[in-house]
Amino acid sequence: MKFGIVVNEGPYTHQAADSAYQFTKAVLEKGHEVFRVFFYHDGVNNGTRLTVPPGDERDIQKNWTALAEEHKVDLVICIAAAQRRGILDANEAKRQGKDADNIAPGFRISGLGQLIEAGIEADRLVTFGD
């Protein structure tokens, strides 16, 4: 089965980000395909490389990055939600006149068309968070 995943909540404000990660990991371990993980609303905060959780806490961004690297999962951050929250890749930082980017490895920024495509291509689209 082919899954699309939507993450609407940030990594440290709601259980949804952890649940989405665990679900995605379990789906892949069972041999299913993940077409794309789309981060929307506060979920885009999962894709900043500047979070520094205490050493005894989970690092959800690094977990997503490792999962994407190991399984070639497409991690897409909504551009509009990202801009509102200060998440920028190098191209967007330059376009907006900013002096730095902060997107984590394995993530990319794109538009809502990527969410629509995931809904079309996947057998199931599973949403985590409000």
Active-site positions read 78
Q: How far apart are CA 28 and CA 9, in angstroms?
A: 21
